[in-house]
Amino acid sequence: MATTAGSAVDTVVTDPLAYSSRTTYTDALSDFIMTNATILIVDDEDLIRWSLRERLRTDGYDILEAGTGKAALEQFKTGVDLVLLDYRLPDLDGLSILRELKKLDPEILVILLTSFVSVETAVEAMKLGAFHFANKPFNLDEVAATVGRALETTRLRREVKQLRANEARPYSLRAIVGESATMESLRQMVAKVAGSPASTVLLTGESGTGKDLVAKTIHYSSTRSSRPFMNITCSALPEQLLESELFGHERGAFTDARLQKRGLLESADGGTVFLDEIGEMVPGLQAKLLRFLEEKSFKRVGGAADIHVDVRVVAATNRNLEEQVAKGAFRSDLYYRLNVLPIRLPALREHADDVPYLVSFFVDMFNKEFKKHVTGVSSAAGALLKTYGWPGNVRELRNVVERAMLLAEGDQLEVHDFGALKPGMSTGDAFELPAAGVDLEELERSLVAQALRRAGGNQTKAAALLGINRDQIRYRIEKFGLSTTP
């Protein structure tokens, strides 16, 4: 420092414009800079601190100063957005201060003020996260421009972090609502898979059972959470577009490929790619996807180079993939590769005990959204919701609650707020007729018996489960000679 301080000071003193005028570059940057940012200037030369302080104050920053490493670390604790750090200080060397600062705040950016450092030191400093070197003697406008860029970087990083946190918040394990054993074991499975190094997961389940939710929860509960989560619906795009979305393309690979483009797999490196509706993927792409899953590398469309990435692929389908395989519509090798870690999301009617929990979850959610104060559902409405078949699963329940909340006038949701719902209404494909046919009498007997068992022998409740009235169930109990004791 002693060798260069003179010239640094010369620059400042002989060029009064250096801190009183703003270059067009800094003017342009000033639109973006963090207002009210606090900058800590660490240098043992009073004159250098003075010149930097005066210059940076004209840009509207708050300035703190320190003449020693110890003082710098003390000042830093009061809250600082950027540090300008002289590399040679009387008490501590630049690298150890840099290290300490990064320990206190791993995100902090540091501009090193230096005239000369060895390549090794520069490399070490960069490794420790030094943002930039400002060489003495400074051009103060250049330093100011670097400061503007560093603060912009800090602002963007904080914004990304904030956005990621906001994005992640709804996808903790607790966001998968349900107290039944089925949902408890689902949460355990999700936690296990999220924490595992498994690179492929297959989510199956009817529409509206929470496949999207679980895919995001897996991502945001994993060590990949700070990296991108990218999502593509395989049925939404024609083959060529889907291929270039996934794998990217080189310039000129096809007529419209005027520029090179990175695909989702590349952009999501380190993170997760969610392939929704995988059952709709055309066979040609299935083969390419399989190759990628096996080799962890792929070529861009029209490209020759192998590109290696580390992504977890979470695939989802509401189709029965085994049937698709049997029909020859889905490659069996890809199915086996995906099916290494399958997670099946149960239909809501399979865990109807969770309906009240889900209802209260969505009531809370829409209370916030609609600024309402609904306390819950009346017992008659609760019974109706519990016995309904929910062919659209949790999504349907969510929509039904949303609509009821919009219509509700009192502080409880009543049966009439749930409009057209009828107990036992459409159960979708739940009772798909097996190829071999059924014995309808026997099926009816079995369903009545099951309903009685589930209702603990209570005929009214059992009737509600079947969407019939008490007389109708009594008639069947007699006809089949069923017992009503649980």
Ligand X SMILES: Nc1ncnc2c1ncn2[C@@H]1O[C@H](COP(=O)(O)OP(=O)(O)OP(=O)(O)O)[C@@H](O)[C@H]1O
263 belongs to the binding site for ligand X (CB under 6 A): no
346 contributes a contact to ligand X by CB under 6 A: no
Among ligand X, Mg ion, none, the one that 395 touches (CB under a kind-dependent 5 to 8 A) is: ligand X
The residue (of 57 and 344) whose beta carbon lies closer to ligand X is 344
Q: How far apart are alpha carbons 444 and 458 in whole angstroms?
A: 18
> To 5 degrees, how large is the angle CA 358–CA 364–CA 369?
125
Beta carbon of residue 277, minimum distance to ligand X (angstroms, whole number): 7
Q: Which is nearer to ligand X, 115 or 209 (CB)?
A: 209
Reported residue count of the chain is 486
Asked whether position 395 contacts ligand X by CB under 6 A, the answer is yes
Quote the least distance from Cβ 399 to Mg ion, whole Å: 14
Least distance in angstroms from the C-beta of 348 to ligand X: 8
- Rounded to a whole number of angstroms, the minimum distance from the CB of residue 229 to ligand X is 14
Task: Output the smallest distance, CB 193 to ligand X, in A.
Answer: 16
Q: Which of residues 163-192 bind ligand X (CB under 6 A)?
A: 176-178
Does residue 458 belong to the site contacting ligand X (CB under 6 A)?
Answer: no
Q: Does an H or E element contain 444, and which? A: helix 440-454
Three-state DSSP state, 113: strand
Question: Which tokens in the block code for residue 52?
Answer: 């930097």
Give the residue with the Cβ less far from Mg ion, 211 or 331.
211
Residue 75 or 209: which CB sits closer to Mg ion? 209
By beta-carbon proximity to Mg ion, the closer residue of 152 and 212 is 212
- If binding is defined by CB under 6 A, does position 121 make contact with ligand X? no
By CB under 6 A, residue 279 contacts ligand X: no
Which SS3 state, helix, strand or coil, does residue 31 take? Answer: coil
For ligand X, the nearest residue by Cβ is 210
Single residue of 394, 401, 405, 464 touching ligand X by CB under 6 A: 394
The single residue among 94, 148, 210, 248 that binds ligand X, judged by CB under 6 A, is 210
Q: Which does 213 bind (CB under 5 to 8 A by kind): ligand X, Mg ion, none?
A: ligand X
CA distances from 294 to 125, 313, 335 (A): 39, 12, 13
Q: DSSP of 218-242, one letter per residue?
A: HHHTSTTTTS-EEEEETTSS-HHHH
Sheet strands side by side (includes 312-317) = 229-233, 272-276, 312-317, 200-204, 342-344
Distance CA 440, CA 117 (A): 88
207 binds ligand X (CB under 6 A): yes
The least distance separating ligand X from the CB of residue 208, rounded to whole angstroms, comes to: 5
Closest to ligand X by CB, 112 vs 347, is 347
Q: Which amino acid is at 376?
A: G
Q: Which stretch binds ligand X (CB under 6 A): 37-45, 52-60, 201-209, 433-441?
A: 201-209
The answer to whether the beta carbons of residues 210 and 183 sit under 8 Å apart is no
Residue 210 binding: pick among Mg ion, ligand X, none (C-beta 5-8 Å cut-off by kind): ligand X
Greatest CA separation for the chain? 108
Query: CA-CA-CA-CA torsion for 391, 397, 398, 404, nearest 10 degrees?
Result: 130
Q: How far is the CB of 283 from ligand X (least distance, A)?
A: 22
Q: Does 399 bind ligand X (CB under 6 A)?
A: no
Q: Given the complex with ligand X, which of 28 and 181 has the nearer CB atom?
A: 181
Q: Which is nearer to ligand X, 128 or 177 (CB)?
A: 177
Binding partner of residue 292 among ligand X, Mg ion, none, CB under 5 to 8 Å per kind? none
Nearer to Mg ion, 220 or 418 (CB): 220
Secondary structure (H, E, C), 156-224:
HHHHHHHHHHHHHHHHCHHHCCCCCHHHHHHHHHHHHHHHCCCCEEEEECCCCCCHHHHHHHHHHCCCC
Query: Between 175 and 290, whose beta carbon lies closer to ligand X?
Result: 175
Q: Residues 182, 199, 318, 459: which binds ligand X (CB under 6 A)?
A: 318
- Bridge partners, residue 272, by sequence: 229, 312
Could you tell me the two tokens for 34?
A: 């963090």
From 220, 287, 228, select the one nearest 263 (Cα to Cα): 228
Residue 398 interacts with ligand X (CB under 6 A)? yes
**What percentage of the chain's residues is helix, strand, coil (to nearest 5)?**
50, 15, 35
Residue 279's binding partner among Mg ion, ligand X, none (Cβ under 5 to 8 angstroms by kind) is none
- Token digits of residue 400: 């039904």
**Alpha-carbon distances of 398 from 317, 356, 379, 390, 411, rounded to whole Å:** 21, 12, 18, 11, 18
> What are the structure tokens assigned to 304, written together?
């020759």
Phi-psi bin for 208: left (phi > 0), alpha (psi -120 to 50), beta?
left
Positions 197 through 226 that interact with Mg ion (CB under 5 A): 211-212
Q: Which amino acid is at 365?
A: M
Nearer Cβ to Mg ion, position 212 or 350? 212
Task: Give dist(CA 383, CA 458) in Å, integer.
Answer: 13
Question: What residues line the site for Mg ion (CB under 5 A)?
Answer: 211-212
Question: What residues line the site for ligand X (CB under 6 A)?
Answer: 176-178, 205, 207-213, 318, 361, 394-395, 398
